[in-house]
Amino acid sequence: MKWLTSLKGQRVALTGKAWCSRKDLIRRLRGKITSSGQVTKDTTVLVRGSSAQFAYGEFGRKERYAASLLRSGQKLVVVDDFEFRKLLEGGRRARLSDRIAGQPIQWLVTVPPRQFRTAAAISGPLDREFSALGRVEQSFLRQRLIGDAETSNCSLCGKLLPVELLVAAHIKPRSECSRRERLDAQNVVFGVCTLGCDALYERGFIAVLPGGKICTSSVGNASLKRALKTFGGRKCGMWKAGKNDKYFTWHAERRFQGS
């Protein structure tokens, strides 16, 4: 569903500021406001306003809780306040947001294996955040790596982070994987953070050697070298002999920019 066309029977939670009080208008359209506008386990619509005081920058605690409910299987949609206004004041349909708590909603929705196999059958790179098949594949792979957890460790830097800052990254570049390798969901990806580790590994400034030892490149300017120093002596916790070691070896031999 891409549009919200009616509030009849919907249980609506509100976050952030709006152009006016929305509660009376919601009731007039036969919607129900959840207790104090909070996100609850029977919320079906979250209306996202704006705020300079959100706990997590672009979103707040209500939205983060809504994301956890989506991850656990609850049916819930998000609509931005400027879209919601179209429905309340003009009776026009409101476009649903495709993002929640800083990540695509699709990443949180359970993906059947059949849909994953369809995405994995496509060769070459897939934009994991903005292409439809990329979001399907990323969701399936994240579920295998992270499950229902709200925090997880980056496999490279080791930091414990909110899951919206982690991606299921292909150990061997997806564009170089065979169909069989792309379907190897248990082994072909590992969880890395978007705070730098994903880019450093993808561009070959970091490699994982036999035994899981992290090796860093000597290529680059002073700022890059300072960033790479933080990996000194670290090991990749997701390196597994006989399972994903061949993918790490491929990357180290073909993409690593030298030691």
Asked whether the whole model's pTM tops 0.75, one would answer yes
Q: Which band of pLDDT confidence, cut at 50, 70 and 90, is reported for residue 128?
A: very high
Predicted confidence (pLDDT) per residue in 22-45, tens digit: 888 888 889 999 988 899 999 999
Q: State whether residue 99 is helix, strand or coil.
A: strand
Determine the pLDDT at residue 74. 93
State yes or no: pLDDT of 20 exceeds 80.
no
Give me the residue spans of the domains in the chain.
3-101, 140-254
What string of DSSP letters covers 188-231?
Answer: SEEEEETTTHHHHHHTTSEEE-GGGBEEE---S-HHHHHHHHTT
Element (H, E) at 153: strand 151-153
Predicted confidence (pLDDT) per residue in 68-90, tens digit: 999 989 999 999 999 999 999 88
Q: CATH homologous superfamily of domain 3-101?
A: BRCT domain (3.40.50.10190)
Predicted confidence (pLDDT) per residue in 188-228, tens digit: 999 999 999 999 999 999 999 999 999 999 998 999 999 99
Determine the pLDDT at residue 259. 60
Question: 143 and 163 in contact (C-beta within 8 Å)?
Answer: no
Determine the pLDDT at residue 28. 87
Nearest alpha carbon to residue 21 among 64, 72, 78, 81 = 81
Q: How many residues belong to the chain?
A: 259
Element (H, E) at 249: helix 245-254
State yes or no: pLDDT of 172 exceeds 90.
yes
Q: What is the DSSP letter of 150?
A: S
